[in-house]
Amino acid sequence: MSQMLHLERVFDAPRDLVWRAFTDPDEFAAWFGPVGYSVPRESVSFDLRLGGRQSFTMVPDDPSNPPGGESSGTIDELVEGSLLVTHEDLPEEMAKVFGTSRITMRIELRDTGDGKTLFVLDQGPYADDFVGNAREGWGSSFTKLDTLLASRVAG
């Protein structure tokens, strides 16, 4: 799967704890969101099973900032403690921007062997074609453009 956003991070915590931070509504509401936004506990609703919904709303701490919006994913794959795959269908105007009407989010947790947890996020596709295939038949001519538009976002 070629995705636009790929992130990896090692957390100094056991895997079950990281899993809980993502799937327990109390824990999730306590940390999720960028700086300046928070997730009200009452907005979080997780139905942790295949086909179940995972929804929450982000609100700005400062009301004059733009609303964070509601997010609602449907669970496609679920392996307790290690794998969560959800998809979200986008409203038309966002679909145009993202270049796709459906965004998939894949979160995988792996033991690193020393009590830490590797977190791997793949989210997209955001106009998959847009960064994809950078190495297929483009040769060196792509390099400069790659620097401009793909290197940082593709990880």
Partner 1 sequence: LNNVATDRLSVIFAALADPTRRAILARLSEGEATVSELAEPFEISLPAVSRHLKVLERAGLISRSRSAQWRSSRLEAEPLREATAWMERYRAFWDQSLDRLDEHLKRMQQREAGTGPTSSSTDPERNLP
Q: How far is the CB of 129 from partner 1 (least distance, A)?
A: 5
**Distance (Å, whole) CA 95 – CA 127:** 9
**# chain residues binding partner 1, by CB under 8 A:** 43
List, in order, residues 6 or more apart from 61 with CB less than 8 Å away: 36, 37, 38
- Closest C-alpha to 11, from 122, 86, 120: 120
- Tell me the HSE value of 70 on the side-chain side, using a 13 A CA sphere: 10
Choices 44-52, 75-83, 97-105; region in contact with partner 1 by CB under 8 A: 97-105
**Residue 19 near partner 1 by CB under 8 A:** no
**Distance (Å, whole) CA 149 – CA 142:** 10
Figure out which of the listed residues 2, 5, 23, 83 binds partner 1, where binding follows CB under 8 A: 5
Choices 45-53, 77-85, 88-96; region in contact with partner 1 by CB under 8 A: 88-96
Give the three-state DSSP class for 35: coil
**Distance (Å, whole) CA 154 – CA 97:** 17
Q: Restricting to residues 124-143, name those near partner 1 by CB under 8 A.
A: 126-127, 129-130, 133, 138, 141-142
Q: Restricting to residues 40-79, name those near partner 1 by CB under 8 A.
A: 66
Figure out which of the listed residues 11, 48, 53, 76 binds partner 1, where binding follows CB under 8 A: 11
Figure out which of the listed residues 2, 23, 25, 32 binds partner 1, where binding follows CB under 8 A: 32
Phi, psi of 115 (to 5 degrees): 85, 0
Which residues are registered as beta bridge partners of 85? 77, 106
Which residue ranges make up the site for partner 1 (CB under 8 A)? 4-5, 7, 9, 11-13, 17-18, 20-21, 27, 30-35, 66, 93-94, 96-99, 119, 121, 123, 126-127, 129-130, 133, 138, 141-142, 144-146, 148-149, 152-153
